[in-house]
Amino acid sequence: MYDELINIVQNLGSPKVLLAGDFLLDVYVYGDALRISPEAPVPVLKVVSRECRPGGAASVAADLAALGAKTICLGTVGKDINAKTLKMLLKGSGADTSGLAEIADRPTITKQRFVGLAQHIHPQQLLRVDEEKDEPLDDKHYQKLLDLYKKKLSQADIVCLQDYNKGLFEKSFCESLIKLAKSAGKKILIDPAPKADFAKYTGASAITPNRLEASIASGINIKAVDDAAKAAAILIKKLNLDAVIITLDKEGAYLKTKSVELHIPTIIRKVYDISGAGDVVLASLAAALAAGVDYETAVQISNVAGGIEVEKFGTATVSIEEIVNELMSRKQKSGSKIKSLDQLTGQLKWHKGHKQKTVFTNGCFDVLHRGHIEFLSFCKKQGDIVVLGLNSDKSVKTIKGPDRPVNNQLDRAAVLSALETVDYIVIFDEPDPLETIKKVKPDVLVKGQDWAQKGVVGREFVEAAGGKVVLAPLVEGKSSTNTIEKMESLKKNKK
């Protein structure tokens, strides 16, 4: 599953997304909150820095850019300095802002957050100041936006509506956008507003309400996944949708289509800030669906992206690399440590790309004992990823004789897999691991001190490539051979 998702994410391409919505400017004023004002019981913020970020639908545009998509923006801004800042941010991400209509008597929606820095590093929001008008637009402005929408629709692969309940999506206007998109054969995805009348979204391809929004719209109090299933069934029928995706925070997401009913769990994370999570979900869904994947796969990708975003402060983008890294990490944790040489080299390429040091060692590890445990602990201290080359049964017989191994290669590998000090195991047939070492290309090659005089196989190759060879101390008297001989001796004494 992970390999397929990774391949899809890496090949999303550059879809064109027509994004209509409430475009906001998020302003963060950071400062040290070191004392309480003598004028009132409030903290005094000594300003350290200011930062402007795209918010609302503009946040979705930034998220789409991070995923390689091209965004065509449609919405309104004021004739003010904040509009210039917002357009500059959007253009910087490669978005087309020609569809942002300027309205003189309507300010660019701006959310200004004042953030205190505890010990200069831990941000904590103290106050938010909003500047906006949220009543519906005049008819002339709606007509101008519709004309722009019709003009740009043919350029898009998919359409998104991001409704922040700021007055843009008046019922007839919203219905017109949906009707035009469907007539043009375009999927149209909607991130609905809280407390909105969902009837205006009727006929869309999919909606992505969160738990609260879906509860309000369906009349089902969503406390558990079963409740989400009931709510999704109501909404898909009532609104004549292709899909409903209900985001369930720590419980992941619930997907309902005409043929699929599926709960897609997520990994529980330390949530830092939920701002922008819905934007990332909408953007990743749009990018994936525009690339031709099905709803189930698209939701799996958006689940990962949303989980990454909530660990960041404020509205933040999630890149393709971050999603791939997360999927690779999950694959490593959930998959078997036992790999073929081809599988292993693919995994190690990723680790090397992330500056992780690979350590290689090898052996029969026939009857596990204390010496093995301490040896592998030593290996783990030499780098980040420990690859254990395990002699196959055939190889062990060649080295140790026809009575060995005591435990077959699968049993030996299974026991070694349970050790935290071992990251990967590759089984080799040859009497020595040289060919395996050449494929693994380790940064560090570890053998026991007893190999000092015998010569470490692979030393020349590793050192020529800039790596090093380290000899590990041995636990005196501990070896598989000694353990087996002791067992044989005990067996004879019993007779």
At residue 171, what are phi and psi to the nearest 5 degrees?
Answer: -50, -55
Q: Which two tokens stand for residue 30?
A: 């950071």
Q: Which long-range contacts (CB under 8 A, 24 or more apart) does 258-265 make?
A: 260/295, 260/296, 261/229, 261/232, 262/296, 263/225, 263/228, 263/229, 264/296, 264/299, 264/300, 264/303
Q: Which residues belong to the active site?
A: 279
Distances 420 to 251, 336, 441 between C-alpha atoms, Å: 28, 13, 22
As a whole number of angstroms, the distance between CA 110 and CA 27 comes to: 7
| Secondary-structure breakdown of the chain: helix, strand, coil percentages, each rounded to the nearest 5 | 40, 25, 35
Amino acid sitting at position 328: M
Residue carrying structure tokens 């391409």: 13
Print the SS3 string covering 133-188.
CCCCCCHHHHHHHHHHHHHHHCCCCEEEEECCCCCCCCHHHHHHHHHHHHHCCCCE
In the chain, what is the greatest distance between 2 CA atoms, to the nearest angstrom? Answer: 103
Bridge partners of residue 254, in order along the sequence = 246, 263
